[in-house]
Amino acid sequence: MQTPRLDIEIYKLSYSSATKVDTTMQIEKKITIINKLGLHARAASKLVGEATRYESQILIDKEGQQADAKSIMSILMLAAGKGTELLFQISGADAEDAFAAVETLINNRFDEDE
C-alpha cells in the first residue's frame, strides 16, 4: 500500500499596515429652540432625519436629561418647547458637518411657517 503524497505550498503574505489616526472631534454647543411649536413630532422627525445622515454620535441635553438625536422617541421625551436651551454634544469624524446641519435646521425653524 502506498502512502498518499501531500504537497504543501507555503505562500508568503505581504501586507502594509496603516496606523489609525484618531480623527474624532467633539463639539459641545447650546442652541435655543426658536420655532413656535417647539420640538414637536414633525420637527423631531426632521432632526432625526438630519442626524442619521452623519456617523457622529449626537446627544441632546436638556437640564440633565439626555436624548439620542437619532431616536425620535428620545427627542420627544425632552418636551422642548419654544425658548428651550439644548446642549448638543457631538462626537465623531464628521462632527463639524453634523453640528452645522443640525444648527441650520433649528435656526431655520425646521423649515416651518411661523
99: annotated active-site residue: no
The answer to whether 33 and 105 are in contact (CB under 8 A) is: no
Residue tagged active-site, from 34, 40, 87, 109: 40
Secondary structure of 57-109 in HEC code, one letter for each residue: EEEEEECCEEEECCCHHHHHCCCCCCCCEEEEEEEECCHHHHHHHHHHHHHCH
Catalytic residue set:
40
